[in-house]
Structure 1
């Protein structure tokens, strides 16, 4: 990994010093490179030879800076579980700089590299600046899973481990996951300067984000566009991306678990994988985070929480003179945007040609059938495509099939309105209904193997999650419902 092979930039570091603290990382002792995601490596223009180099390990373990990079930790604030938490920030993360690579379409893109678990920062509060192997593997796999599903997300380049002790409920070992994204700016990044009544920094951040990430969608202030025009269009785009992201999450049964405003990306990315979960048995009010005793971030609450967070975000720009009523008008578009995106996904998942009046009742009925029987979310959709050939797979997911059979009568009647034939419908449904998701028990199996020095489970999972819509011969285990012990797993904010 030679500096001559890298084009490194430090655009975030070019902001005023108040946005961050430059500092050295606290690297892991005797680190081991546990795994590298080859897809992300390629996006950065790097090779496996680069990844095998001592320099790569030194950088990704927090023991050396990125050549040409400026290492820093960013400050931000936010609302946590609906309560203003004040100043937060990168309490255990360090931004190394950005590497020029390519996006999925091959277009040049700057990818920021951020290490999570690389030591204390001024924003650590009571934290130790570390991350444990358990949570690092979960984030590493989760970002790959979401990428494979086609859902916007931060990505993970690699996973580094060490025998350094980390004290949580028990003593665990330390790890660092290298996260990759165009930017890690959050709703809370704007809230920080609004709360501080620092309009200069708020405007600086606004200009930075628009010029670097929204230049094609949001105009700059000029003789034709007032600052209010710029703000409203920027808020519009963030609303659109957030509404779409919420529809994406709902369509695959993904539960984020900690939808605080500091965990919401202005780019519409899934960010900060903590106590997340893909549902096994469907419950409409499923809560994946054991810490969330009030169910604030339940699965069915996520779309409305997205809007609540957007209100906090948009309100920041009142400090720059934006009209509160006009911003409210922009926010009122969210529900329609979310519903349109949600319906589009559900039409595809149910194999319908187009949305028609009455389809809301059909879909609500489907959710009721799944909820009452706690039927497996992923497999119920997947097996639905097979009912013309064999209903056995779908029926096997239900202890009592009475309600299912009644719903299937309505569903088959609705399918008569389709122009496509059954074979085409089944093929198209399989393209949007994954066979594999990162179930909690699968992640736990990868964790337990990794704790014994075996990364083969992580490697196998990465392969199926790369293409979750296609059946992989020999990988049937990864498409199965959880065993009894897997249904009892709990995840919390401890990581």
Structure 2
């Protein structure tokens, strides 16, 4: 397919040790599952490559965009704390980079497009379920304001994929600021590819944190790319996990190969949003020890950053003691950065102008009350929003959420604290506490229907979740907590 616009290939240009040429494997009967016209417009994607038959064929791997250079990338990673030296894009193929009209560069990747040199005997495919989940979840996360990869399209292949049983196959077109991971750095550090590691770090720093690099080197000409990268990734990941915690999102598989250096959420395999609040909540079927439980996420991200720091030591300073001191200082920023960002997000959620030291006990007692009374995380916060704004009679929330006696007692303390807040803080609550989130039971229903060839619910959910902070007609369904028989207790990677 031809257009006057074109792909770029700055990552490919680093060399074959970074990206191995890899062709997609054709499929038998491609069919649209979804096309994200809103994202296409934001990318400045050519109309000729839009929602049409030729684009469908190309995104299914049966054709190729002019100027694309399909390839798969190497990376390693710690999986549940255990190091695996050889992972890589086992089912993903990078087509190239696309420059948005504002100059921002994005990777365009096909996920589930067939075997690659890193498939390790796998088929390189994905069932419909994981594709639908990632499409819906990543777009909902974007609308909630969370840094995330996005989904341009989802295509059914017409071919079966065997996992626990035969399932219909699909391919996701994923868009990211880049797919370079902590695990990518690990691969080059652990294989002792010093030149490759240095080039990678220089590339990533300039691509994602060029302004920070210029600023750091203006203040200190000796500042290295590695030092700046570690500082900026620490900030980006503190911001990311603070977003997750403020919304009740559980990633489920926070291995180092699932942490992007650009600070976006990636790999939505066993992810889920909490319904009833529980600090130790786990959904992922493979997280049997609770390593990646909701309350553990900040600590795990901090641990992953320490792995990144260790890999970067040779590039931070030739003197190992100095390098360790600099790296330690960077990584040690994480708890404070996370706490500051998370506290600011909590202040907005509770309708406070700013967090005071005395507020922490009030907020902890709120979460304890939610857990004790098994109350819905999202609805409880929206209840606070409507109470603060005097809107309870004007919304359907009263029929969806009944506060416990303990929560009503807590409300008295909170209302007294809010007497010192400004009216603007009420407005901030409306954009901090969503009406709807991508509830697990709705995602599961959409997957079931898509597997049967019906995309209607998938389209409905995508549309509704684009505006999560406002009430819509029909939210008696979409804002409600799941009924007992609808609750999802376990999620699966599925790919």
TM bucket (normalised to shorter chain) is over 0.9
Contact 1:351 1:425 in 2 (8 A): yes
Q: What are the Cα deviations for residues 185-213 of structure 1, in whole angstroms up to 9, with x where unaligned?
A: 00111011110111100001011112222
Q: Partners in 2 of 1:468 and 1:489 — Cα distance? A: 23
Q: Deviations over 1:238-278 (max 9, x none)?
A: 10010010100000000000000000010110011110001
Alpha-carbon separation, structure 2, partners of 1:364 and 1:209: 39
Question: C-alpha distance in 2, partners of 1:237/1:394?
Answer: 43
Alignment check: 8 A CA contact 1:76 1:188 kept: yes
Cα distance in structure 1, aligned partners of 2:19 and 2:241: 30
Alpha-carbon distance, 1:225 to partner = 5.0
1:7 is displaced (CA, Å) by 2.4
Task: Indicate if the aligned counterparts of 1:289 and 1:491 stay in contact, CA closer than 8 A.
Answer: yes
Q: CA deviation at 1:477?
A: 1.4
Partner of 1:350: 350
Q: Does 1:276 align with 2:271?
A: yes
Q: CA RMSD in A?
A: 2.1
Rounded Cα–Cα distance in structure 2 between residues aligned with 1:385 and 1:136 = 34
Per the alignment, residue 151 of structure 1 pairs with 146
Confirm whether residue 39 of structure 1 aligns to residue 42 of structure 2: no
Matched with 1:465 is: 465
Provide TM-score, normalisation by structure 2.
0.94
- 1:264 is matched with 259
Structure 1 residue 54, shift from structure 2 partner: 2.9
Q: Which residue of 2 aligns with 1:412?
A: 415
Within 1, Cα distance between the matches of 2:61 and 2:475? 35
**Counterpart Cα distance in 2 of 1:268 and 1:359:** 29
**Contact 1:135–1:274 (Cα < 8 Å) also in 2:** yes
Three-state SS of the structure 2 residue aligned to 1:407 is helix
1:273 alignment partner, SS class? coil
Kindly state the Cα deviation for residue 394 of structure 1 after the two structures are TM-superposed: 6.9
**1:304-343 correspondence to structure 2 within 5 Å:** 304-322=299-317, 323-343=323-343
1:295 aligns with 2:290: yes
**Residue 24 of structure 1 aligns with which residue?**
23
CA distance in 2, matches of 1:465, 1:47: 25
For the 8 Å contact 2:3–2:46, the answer to whether it is kept is no
Which SS does the other structure have where 2:168 is aligned? Answer: strand
Please identify, of 218-227 and 132-141, the stretch whose mean Cα deviation from structure 2 is larger. 218-227
What stretches of structure 2 of length at least 5 have no aligned partner?
318-322
Structure 2 residue 65 is the aligned partner of structure 1 residue 66: yes
* Aligned counterparts of 1:31 and 1:437: Cα–Cα separation in 2: 30
**In 1, Cα distance between equivalents of 2:168 and 2:247:** 32
Distance in 2, Cα, partners of 1:214 & 1:293: 37
Asked if 1:373 corresponds to 2:373, the answer is yes
2 CA distance for matches of 1:55 and 1:89? Answer: 29
Q: Which residue number corresponds to residue 97 of structure 1?
A: 96
| Structure 1 partner of 2:75 | 76
Cα contact 2:383–2:401 (8 A) shared by 1: no
Matches within 5 A, 1:83-482: 83-102=82-101, 107-219=102-214, 225=220, 228-322=223-317, 323-387=323-387, 389=390, 390=392, 393=397, 397=401, 401-420=404-423, 425-482=425-482
Counterparts in 2 of 1:394 and 1:255: CA distance versus 1, 3 Å: farther
Aligned to 2:264, what secondary structure does the other structure show? coil
Q: CA shift at 1:467, angstroms?
A: 1.2
CA separation in 2, counterparts of 1:203 and 1:63?
Answer: 37
Q: How far apart, CA to CA, are the structure 1 residues paired with 2:121 and 2:485?
A: 33
Distance in 1 of aligned mates of 2:364 and 2:472: 32
Point out where structure 1 has 5 or more consecutive residues left out of the alignment.
none
1:46-83 Cα deviation digits (max 9, x unpaired): 36663233331122111222210111000000100011
Cα offset, 1:20, TM superposition: 2.1
TM-score (norm 1): 0.94
Q: Following TM superposition, by how much is the alpha carbon of 1:133 offset from its aligned partner in structure 2, in angstroms?
A: 0.3
Aligned length: 486
Does the residue aligned with 1:87 lie in a helix, a strand or coil? coil
Task: String of CA shifts for 1:373-420, please: whole Å, max 9, x gaps.
Answer: 221111110111222544995796468x23212211211111111132
SS in 2 for 1:434: coil
67-76 vs 315-324, greater mean Cα deviation = 315-324
Q: Distance in 1 between matches of 2:443 and 2:271?
A: 11
2-structure distance, mates of 1:111, 1:321: 28
Counterpart contact for 2:217–2:223, Cα < 8 Å: no
Secondary structure at 1:214 match in 2:
helix
Structure 2 Cα separation of the partners of residues 120 and 464 of structure 1 = 35
| 1:85-106 Cα distance to aligned partner (Å, 9 max, x none) | 111100000000122224xxxx
